[in-house]
Structure formats: C-alpha cells, structure tokens
Structure 1
Amino acid sequence: MDHYTLEIAKIKIEELLSTVETRTRQFPSSWQPQEVARSIWEIRGYSRLFISYCLSMIGQWFDMVAIMVLFGYVWQTSSFLLAFIPIAYALPQVLFSQFSGIFVQKRNKIILMGCADLVTVFFTIFLFFANTPWLALILLALRSFVGTVHFPAQQGLVHELIPAHLKLKAVSWNGGVNQAAKIIAPLIGGALLTLLPAKHLLLFNAFAFMISACLLFSLRKIIQTKAKYTQSPRETVDNTFLNQWKNSWKSLYRAPTLMIVLSLNIVGMFIIQLVDAQFPALFQLVAPTKPAYMTLLIASIGCGSVLTIYIISKKERFVRLERWLSLALLSLGLGFTGLGFLEKGFSLSYILLLGVLCGIGTGISIIITNYCIQTIPQEDEVSSIAGIYQSLTSSTIFISPLGGAYLIHLFGIQNIFLVSGLSLIILTFLPFLMNKKTAIYTFVKSNKS
C-alpha cells in the first residue's frame, strides 16, 4: 500500500512540474529567469566593446607621441605654442563635456561612440596633412570636441550592460587598459620613430579608431542600449537642455558619497597637476647626466597602477570607503614628498619605490572614482554625472600647470614638489571626517543591477 501511494505521489509531482514548465513558457521573455553572468566576458558583445576601447586608448597615446615630436622637433615651435597643446585637448572637454553627458544619456550610445570614432578618423587624417602649428591646434581642438561624448557614453553603457556584482571588475579592466596604454604606446611609438616620420604615427591612430568604429557599429543589433528612459510628467514638461543640466548637478548634491569622492579626486588632481609637467625640470636639476631615470620613474608609476588595479579587480565590492580614499591620497602624498627630497646621487631603487607609491595611489583613485560613477547615481544620471566629472578634471589640466610654473619660479621646484606631497597627505584625513552614513558605503546595492 505504501509503495502504491508513493508511485501516485511521484506521478502527481511530475504532472505538477510539467504544468509549471508549460505555463512558464507562456510568460513574457522579460519575466523568464535569466542566467547570471559569472564573468564580464560572458556578457554578449562586451569583449568586442572592450577591444574597441583598447584600440582607441592605444591610438590616442600614439597620437600624443606624434604631436609632441611634431611640435617640438619638426616644427620647432616656441614654448608659448607648446603651452597651447594641453589647452587644445582640455578646453573643449571643460566647455562641452557636461552638455555631452546630458546629450548621450537618452540616446543610443553605441551609435554615438561609433560616429564619434569615424569623425575622429577624418580629423586625424586632416591633421596628418596640416603644415602649420596653428592649423594643427585648431584640428586638435575640434577633434577633442567630438571626443567629449566618449567618456559619458562609455560610463552609461557599462552601467547598462554590466550587472552589479561585476561592475568592479569592468571598471578595473578599463582602468588597467588606460594605464597600460600609457606605458606600452609611448615605448612602441618611440621605437617606430626610428623607422618612420612622426606624422605617420597619426595614421596609426586613425587606423585604430577606424577599427574601433567598425567594431562598435557591428554591435548595433547585438547590444540593445536603453535609448530612452521612462519620464515622469514633470520631466516631460521640464525637459529643456538647461534644466537637465541643473538637474544633473542637483542629483550630484543629493549623493554626498559621490560628491565627496569626486571632490577629493579633483582637488588631488589639481595638486598633482601643479608639478606633473615639471618632471623634466626636476630631473635636470637632480640627475642631469641620467635622463633615463625620469622614464624609469614614469614606467614604475604605470606598473604600480596596473598592479594595484589588477589586485582590486579580484574584489567584488568596496567597504570602508574612507580607508581606500585615504590610502590613495597617502600613497600619492608620500611619493611626491619623496620626490621633493631628491638630491644628487640618489639610488635607482629609491626612484622606483616612489614611482610604485604614486602608481598605487593612482590606481586606487581611478577605480574608486569610476566605480562610484557606475553605482551611486540613478540609471538615467550616469552619463550626465560622468560628463560633469570629465569637465572638472579637464579644467585642472591647463589651470594647475600654469599656477605651478609660477610657484616654481618663485619658490623653487623641489619646494613645490614637497608642498604638493604634504598637501596630499593632509587630504588623507578628510575622508575620516565624513558622516558615518557616507563613509561606510557598500557599493553593491540589492536594488541595483
């Protein structure tokens, strides 16, 4: 009897499971349970998107090498004209990045990035045929204007595609590629300069962006981006460009954690930029017969940054945010303070240690900042917040170096390196003054995906 009852129960369970499976198939596809990706490379189309980003990063650094050689050695321009190069790169970012962030947030980001890459190709080819420095500066500024859509579009796209538990790995890989490109591309570019004229490196950049555009356009049907978001009645009435810009700033003020992280990063970058362009002058003073030491310092900064980003990528979330911010500021502060104490006859190991310290701080600050942009704002605010951040950071690129040059003229280069390092160390204590709700923040939220 027991055996008979057991068989009847098994038949009933099988019928019930069959009924549930049949009815589940009738649900809309959005209701169906979806397999959770275990790696960013399992996300459809992301590997192609990542290759596109790698190519554009490497191409940009090839381009930077070509521009510096063209202005400095081929055209032999004055220091006055050389000062306009960072302005041509940064001024369009300062003026238009905030509006580009608003522009891209409700449009197809794949198409926008692909079109921007194509226009970049054309401006780079025009730059190849430029025969005067002033024409080259105009083309650089126009190309930089087109590129203002890239960072906010990329941030918004990563936010849409990557689930919460993989966001840290995604921003780590992107940050690592950016730092690695700073090391690899100048080395390869320097080697190619022994074989090719400097202008031909511009064609490498154009070719890289052409392939990047092709990869992006090939993703149009694979990656369906959210071109539009649900709007409230108030948003449909109050939807002018200026009002959207104001709302982006309001959303930043409503997120104290995000505002503090971005503010500290921008202040730190402002301090670093005071002396960042003065490494040649510093090493000319303390190591006039060893120019290779400066390149080794820059390489060690890049290596320390890449290694730090690789280690962080193994984590799934950040806790105790104030400790990470303080570690980044402390590492940078110790590195720049050590550079301020350099004297003739210093050892190579000392320089490498200072470079690794600076690299650790750089890597942590890159990951924390981009991860905050990815996880804290609302879904339709990521691109606009990224545009605001890009605009503010770009402003430091041409404001701080001018102020730093003036201070160095007054007080000496080593004193300014020392003051910059000590200022960063002082900033180390500010994250601990944050409110407890803001300081202890776990970035993986259960209501975000």
Structure 2
Amino acid sequence: MKAGAFEPLKFRPFRSLFGAQLFSDLGNWLDFIALQVIVAYHWRLDETAIAAVIITLGLPWVIIGPFASVFVDRLPKKQMMITCLFLRIVFVVGMFLAPNLYILLIFVFLKGTVSAIYDPARQSAIRFTVPDDYLPEAVTLSQLSVNSMKIIGPALGGALIYLFGTRSPFLFEAAGFFIAILFLLTLPNIGEKEYIAENKKTDDGHYWKELSEGIKHISHTPLLKSSVILSSVAFFIIFLYDGLFVFIAQNLGFTKGNFGLLISAVGMGSVAGSLLMGSWTRWKRKPIHLMSVAFLFSGSLIIIMGLGSMEIVQLPVLAWVMGAFFLGFMSSGESVPYGFILQSETPKQIMGRVSAASASIQTFSMLIAPALGSLLAKWLGASFVLIGAGGATCLLGAFVLSFIVRRINDQKEIHEKRFQA
C-alpha cells in the first residue's frame, strides 16, 4: 500500500538520484539573478545583452541535446551524469572569472550544453531506480524539485549577492554541483548492465538512424505525441506574456517592493499542486484529461488578470496574489502529467533520445515566443497580449476536451453497433 508523494524515497537508488537532482536544480536557478545583475548593473549593458544571455541558455537544448541523446542512451547513466556535473563546475568557475559579456556567453553556452545532456540521462535513470507502479510519485517528486528550486534558487542567489558580492552565487552553485556528485556516487548500477549489453548487440553503428528513433517514437505514440504538442503549445503561450508580467503587475497595483509576492505565489502554487498530485494519483488513468482541464482553469485566470490590468476587473493586491497561487497550482496539472506520460510511454532504451527530442521542441517554442510577445505588446499593449494568451489557453483545453468527448462517443457507437450485430 503506497503512502503518498514521498513513497519512492524508500528506494535507495531513487534517494540518491533525487538528492542529486535537488542540488542540480538549485544550481540551475542559483545563477539566474547573478547573470542578470552582472550584465545589467555591473557591466551596465542593455536589454539586448540580457536577451542574449537568455537565448544562449536555451539554445543548447535545441541544437545540442537531441544530437547528444544517442550517446546518452548508449552509455551508463551514472558515469555520464557525474561527468556532466564535473564539467558544470568547471564552466561555472569560468562564468565566475568571465571578464566581459562575450566570454560569459561562451561559458553559459557550455554549461547549457552539459545541462542538455545531463537531464535526458537523469530522465532515463528514473526508470532504473523505482518500479513502474511508483512512476507517478517519482515524476511528481522530480517536478517538485524543479518547482521548489525555481523559488529557492533565485531568492538564495539574491541573498548571496547582498551578503557576499555579485559573483558569489557561482561559487555556491559549484559547491551544489559537487554535493550532487557525492549523491550520485552512492547510486548503484542497478538494471543498466543488461540493457547496455543488449544495446551493444543491436547497435549497427547507424548514428542517424538511432537519432531519428526518438522523433519516430513520439510521432508513432499517440498519447506521447499529444502531450508533447500540448506542452509545447502551452510553453509558447506562457512565454508570450512571461516577459511582460512585470508591466502587468504594475497595472494590477504592485510596486517594486511587493512584486516579488506575485512571482513567489506562482512558485508556491506549483509546489502545492505537485504535492497534491503525488498524494492523489488517480489522474494517471487520464493524464490528457487533467492537462486539458488545467488549461481551461489557468486560461480563465490569465484572462481575468488581463482584464484587471485594463482596470475592467478591480481586486485588492491580496486577491491577485491568490490568483497567482492558483495559476501556479494549475501549472502542475500540466507539467506533472506530461512528465508521467513521457516516462510511462517510452521504452527505457530510447528514453534519452525521446526526452531530448521533446525538450528540444519545447525549448524552441519557448525561445521564439518572447520576441513575438514583445512585438505584440508594442502593437496591442501588454494587457491585450495577456488576454489573448489566456483565451488561447482556454481554447487549447476546450479543443482537446471536445476531441476526447467526440472520440468517446465514437467508441460507444462502434461498441453499440457490434453489440447489435
């Protein structure tokens, strides 16, 4: 009998993997504030430089991750993750010493490259550390780590900058990666030996053939293909308005002193949603249904915020904070089911390639959306962009739900015809 979201932690291999993920995720977000502070305040560069940093962070996931994923599937995951973490320490030290933007961007790209290799390896390793019955809880814990560190990392990074200086988060980030290595050293090589041996038997040396298997698996697996498309479209919509959120907050009555409350509320909501989904796992029977319902509710909240930005809806600041909390809460109804589908619908031997391919599609949509959102905001205004994004999110959820209902009705008709015959 399973006890809840933290039940997978009773398996020692998963404890080692999850401990490493906590410190790895913390490192991913610890330098988020530091990079922006160095570029904007220390070097006094403009928005173009900040955009260059953000694009450089995401680019390896699109152009490097999918091509490296073949080797992720061929090689032992434990050794690969340890190597990636060691290289991340080296590149973070490079970021710490970078004298100008160009050198910084080189190390940011290199760190992003090993991160794009590390994550598919970690995704693959999950299947070797817990029984399949515990996948929903394991995926939920993984998502909980990501969501928690999105809050803790930037906040801790800001505190470290205040206490120890602008570049100090990089040193703490390197220390976090070292602790993650220590966790991975306790990870046993369970289940991989036979799988790697089988891979070697079937390996015909055709790199491009192996590379295409990830995309082919996504396209030939209806549930996985639907979830990847849905999550990619959702990411695109989110990043249309993500960079405009500060301007929306100003229109809602937030000052620079309490703007952080709005962002923190979104993060806390996503953590709460992840915890609930780890304790209540009946959603795993119909994950696409849950994603669609989450789109409807989150889209409605986004529309209301857009109307509030136009002063059509007027609410106190506390009410907007609560709305942001539920927006984050609903985001877990999109991200956790996607993670579960990715794991449950993909064979272990191609997990790296499928994970990297899906991440590449999602990241590409995230990279092109901010520029379009900025152009639309200049043309229509940030409030209209937010309302449009909310409407698109609702339409996405409604379209998928209507498709599901139509498919159920078609199946009923087929069943009735067979029964009558």
Distance 1:51 1:243 in 2: 35
Distance 2:354 2:274 in 1: 23
Aligned to 1:254: 220
Matched ranges for 1:332-411 at <5 A: 332-343=298-309, 346-411=315-380
Matched ranges for 1:27-426 at <5 A: 39-219=7-187, 221=188, 223=190, 225-226=192-193, 228=196, 230=198, 235-237=202-204, 239-287=205-253, 290-317=255-282, 318-343=284-309, 346-426=315-395
Distance 1:195 1:250 in 2: 50
Distance 1:229 1:308 in 2: 40
Is contact 2:252-2:317 (8 Å) kept? no
Compute the displacement of 1:224 (Å). Answer: 5.2
Paired residue type of 1:387: A
**Secondary structure in structure 1 of the residue aligned to 2:75:** coil
CA deviations over 1:183-228 (Å, ceiling 9, x no partner): 1222222222221111011101011011212322343x46453451
> TM-score normalized by structure 2?
0.89
In terms of fraction of residues, the more helix-rich structure is 2
Compute the displacement of 1:316 (Å). Answer: 4.0
Distance 2:99 2:298 in 1: 40
Is contact 1:62-1:205 (8 Å) kept? yes
Aligned to 2:415: none
Paired residue type of 2:367: F
Compute the displacement of 1:81 (Å). Answer: 1.1
1:136–1:278 CA distance, 2 compared to 1 (3 A): same
1:68–1:223 CA distance, 2 compared to 1 (3 A): farther
TM-align CA RMSD: 2.2
1:422–1:230 CA distance, 2 compared to 1 (3 A): same
Compute the displacement of 1:349 (Å). Answer: 2.7
Distance 1:283 1:355 in 2: 11
Consecutive unaligned residues of structure 1, counting only runs of 5 or more, are 1-37, 441-449
Compute the displacement of 1:106 (Å). Answer: 2.3
> TM-score normalized by structure 1?
0.84
Compute the displacement of 1:146 (Å). Answer: 1.5
Consecutive unaligned residues of structure 2, counting only runs of 5 or more, are 1-5, 412-421
**Secondary structure in structure 1 of the residue aligned to 2:166:** coil
Q: How many residues align?
A: 398
Distance 2:286 2:83 in 1: 41
Paired residue type of 1:270: F
Is contact 2:224-2:342 (8 Å) kept? yes
Paired residue type of 1:49: L
Paired residue type of 2:374: A
Is contact 1:114-1:216 (8 Å) kept? yes
1:265–1:416 CA distance, 2 compared to 1 (3 A): same
Distance 2:199 2:50 in 1: 47
**Secondary structure in structure 1 of the residue aligned to 2:198:** coil
Is contact 1:44-1:223 (8 Å) kept? no
Is contact 2:227-2:288 (8 Å) kept? no
Compute the displacement of 1:425 (Å). Answer: 0.3
**Secondary structure in structure 1 of the residue aligned to 2:74:** coil
Is contact 2:72-2:121 (8 Å) kept? yes
Is contact 2:236-2:365 (8 Å) kept? yes
Distance 2:197 2:347 in 1: 11
Q: Using the aligned pairs only, state the percent identity.
A: 22
CA deviations over 1:395-428 (Å, ceiling 9, x no partner): 1232100011011111111000000000000001
1:236–1:283 CA distance, 2 compared to 1 (3 A): closer
Runs of 4+ in 1 over 6 A off after TM superposition: none
Paired residue type of 1:230: E
> Which of structures 1 and 2 has the bigger CA Rg?
1
Distance 1:117 1:103 in 2: 17
Distance 2:110 2:57 in 1: 9
